[in-house]
Every structure is written in C-alpha cells, then in structure tokens.
Chain A
Amino acid sequence: MDFFKKTLDPVIALSAIAVLDIFLFLVVGAWTVGGGETMMTGLFAEAVMGEEQLARIPFWSLVFKPDASYWKIYISLGMLFGAFVGAVLSNEFYLRFPRRLSEWVLITIGGLLMGVGIRLAFVCNVSTFFGLTPEMNLGGYLSISGIIAGAWVGSMIYKKILEG
C-alpha cells in the first residue's frame, strides 16, 4: 500500500486533521494535548503518592482533580497508538536513543520547560494553533507571540550549540 511506502504531503495530512478537528470541536472540544498530559501527571502522582498525600497539594484539587475518564487523555493515547501502527506498517519502528550526553541534557531541560510552560499558560502548542487562535480567542494571540519569541530564543541557543 502506497500510503505506508511514501511520505505523505504535510499539507494534505494537516488539512485532513483540521477537518477532523472541526468535528471534534462540535462533539467535545477542539484538539488539545496539554490538558490530557496534566491529568496523566495527576494520575501518576496519585498512584505514587496516594490520594490523601496528593490532595494536600491544592493544585490537584482546585485545578486538576485526577480523573481517568477525562477525554483529553485519550487523544494522546490515540496519537501514540496511531503513530505506532503507522511506524510498524511502514517498517519505520525501531528503538532510537540519543547518542550524546548533551542531547540527553537538552531533552531533559526542554521537557521540563515544556511541562512548566503548559501549566503556566493553561495551553500547549496544539491548543494555541489548532484551538484558541482559530476560535479567535485572545489567548491564542498571546500564546502565539510567546511561542514565536520562545522558539526564536530556543533556535539561537540551538544554533550556538551546533556551531560550538
């Protein structure tokens, strides 16, 4: 099947995703990832710390009360599943590890910044580009200005590292 042999044009892929996102917007809400990830964090923390201990941290009772039936979790799990199926059927699944220690360090810092940033903003990049901004929510424009500035700073740091 050609679909699993050739790389799909991203314009076609994203157009199809946009149409599906409109359907999702009508049924439950626009595509988002950060909310589901936060709920998963809460569920993991609850499993490790116990319900009582976690309830002592106000964030997990006032902002995100751990709930496994939160629909946004399943978007992320679906993406993992869909990508796995695509990778297996196109013979592109194999274990890849960062080779250098510096890569591990950058990924660690990057991951932490993404986690803190998502929670501080209440939104992630997906909600910014595929939810808030198309809804013309003021938060979309604020988020876009932040992410472009951040990507520029990140790119300059990345360039320094590449040159160094």
Chain B
Amino acid sequence: MESAIGECLVAFVFGSVVGLLVQRSRFCNTAALRDAILFKTFRNTKALLVAMMILTIGFTTFLTFGEGNPMHFDVGLNQVIGLFLFGIGMVLAGACTVSTWVKTGEGNVGALWALLFTFIGMFLFSLLWSANYWPPAAGSMTGEPNLEALQLGYSNAATLQEKFGIPAVVFGMVQTLVLYAIYRAIRRKEMAQQTHHDELAAQHAAE
C-alpha cells in the first residue's frame, strides 16, 4: 500500500476491531503468562497459542510465495534483555502494550498512568541510546551476524526457504505442531485439575 493515509486508515480500522474484541473477551497478554506461572490457569494462554498457530500457518504460507511485509531488522542480545525488562514491567504494571490502551479505553486511570510512564521510559532510553548507539540503528544493520555489537543478523521462514530450498510453510507447519503440542499439554493439565476438583467435591459431598 503506497498512500500514507490509506495505511493509517487500515491501521485504525484494524486497531478498532482489535480493541473491541479484546475489551469484550477480557484477553490479556500479561495474564497469559502471569496466570500460567502463578495460578496455573490458562484461559488467556490457550487463546494466545491458538492465535500463534493461525498466524504461523498464514504468515509462512504467504512468505513461501514472497508475499507479505515481514519485519526486517537484525536481532541479538538486546531482544532478550529488552523483553526480560518488559516482562517484569508488564507483571508489575498489570498490563501490557495492548491492555494499557484497552483498559484506558474502559476508564482505567492506572492503565493510563502505565502508558504515560511507558512513554517516559522510551524517552529515557532515547537519551541512553544517544550516548552509546547500542543496539545498532536500522541504517547500520547488515543482516549478517555482528558479534562485536552482540547481533546475530536477520533470519525468518523466508530466509530458511532461500537457504535450504524447502518451502517456508513447511517450517511453519513444524512450528505449528510444536505450538499445538504445548496447547494439548495445557488441556491435559486442565482436565487433570478438573478431575481432581471433582473428586474433592465428591468426597466433601460424601462426608
């Protein structure tokens, strides 16, 4: 799409539908991880896994035919450290990037406060980056590993297809199977929890 206005319009319509669906379903990415870790409940985790399975098949199918607009930048240690900090932050704030916007839309002032400080955090990081220029800016990325800068280069399903001559969607199917195995393991755990709960309830009733 070439028109900036067209892109913005598509993005706004997409965001509006997402905001509505997330608000009505109470989906939360933070809860998908936090609740699984702390409370062993998986309501949001299962939804996240299903979405990832659909997306993996969809994206890799189009990448097989050279279609789509994949994210293109070098990756490295900064992803691990950055998302580690983000993971702590989202649990403490009780909201991730999606739920801060959605909860703000519901009138949650705490979420608006989190959003404000996310912006402040980004600005503070811009000062830090301007002092040491790490991680490398897009202009200086080469797509190849750059160990001095702790960068591993660029790779995705399309580059795997190019390298091995195997269609990207095949790699996508393997990843989908792995995600499905995790989903099934969660369902089994839930069923075991339910059986245990039913047994306890039956015992109490018998007493």
Chain B residues whose CB sits within 8 angstroms of the CB of A130 once the complex forms: 51-52, 55
Are A28 and B87 closer than 8 Å at their CB atoms?
no
| 7 other A-B residue contacts (CB within 8 Å) besides A9-B25, A25-B58, A33-B98 | A59-B126, A74-B8, A79-B18, A82-B17, A110-B117, A120-B81, A150-B90
Interface positions of A from 112 to 136, Cβ below 8 Å from B: 112-136
B196 at the interface (CB under 8 A from A): no
Chain B min CB distance to A91 (Å): 11
Q: Considering the complex, give the chain B residue whose CB is closest to the CB of A145.
A: B80
Select which of A69, A143, A154 is within 8 A of B88 by beta carbon.
Answer: A154
Are B86 and A113 closer than 8 Å at their CB atoms?
yes
A8-B21, A114-B90 known; A155+B109 contact, CB < 8 A: no
* Interface of chain B, main secondary structure: helix
B121 at the interface (CB under 8 A from A): yes
B202 at the interface (CB under 8 A from A): no
A114-B118, A155-B38 known; A135+B70 contact, CB < 8 A: yes
A111-B114, A146-B81 known; A87+B90 contact, CB < 8 A: no
Chain A min CB distance to B107 (Å): 5
Question: Number of A residues whose C-beta is below 8 Å from B?
Answer: 123
Select which of A62, A81, A94 is within 8 A of B19 by beta carbon.
Answer: A81
Interface positions of B from 52 to 70, Cβ below 8 Å from A: 52, 54-56, 58-60, 62-63, 67-70
Q: Return 25 A-B CB contacts under 8 Å, by A number.
A: A7-B26, A8-B25, A10-B26, A14-B50, A16-B21, A17-B17, A18-B58, A63-B137, A74-B11, A81-B105, A82-B15, A82-B23, A94-B107, A107-B93, A107-B117, A113-B85, A117-B81, A117-B85, A118-B118, A121-B83, A122-B82, A136-B156, A145-B83, A146-B83, A147-B87
B155 at the interface (CB under 8 A from A): yes
Chain A residues whose CB sits within 8 angstroms of the CB of B91 once the complex forms: 110, 150-151, 154-155, 157-158
Are A63 and B24 closer than 8 Å at their CB atoms?
no
Chain B min CB distance to A146 (Å): 3
Are A10 and B4 closer than 8 Å at their CB atoms?
no
Are A107 and B114 closer than 8 Å at their CB atoms?
yes
B201 at the interface (CB under 8 A from A): no
Chain B min CB distance to A92 (Å): 6
Select which of A25, A82, A97, A118 is within 8 A of B20 by beta carbon.
Answer: A82
Select which of A29, A59, A135 is within 8 A of B129 by beta carbon.
Answer: A59
Q: Report the bound CA distance from A50 to B1 in whole Å.
A: 32
Are A154 and B87 closer than 8 Å at their CB atoms?
yes
5 shortest interchain CB distances as A-B pairs: A150-B87, A115-B121, A78-B15, A121-B82, A82-B19
A148 at the interface (CB under 8 A from B): yes
B122 at the interface (CB under 8 A from A): yes
Q: Report the bound CA distance from A33 to B29 in whole Å.
A: 13
Question: Interface code B104-129, partner A: CB below 8 Å = 1, 0 otherwise?
Answer: 11111110011111111111111101
Interface positions of A from 42 to 64, Cβ below 8 Å from B: 42, 44-45, 57-60, 62-64
Q: Report the bound CA distance from A38 to B126 in whole Å.
A: 10
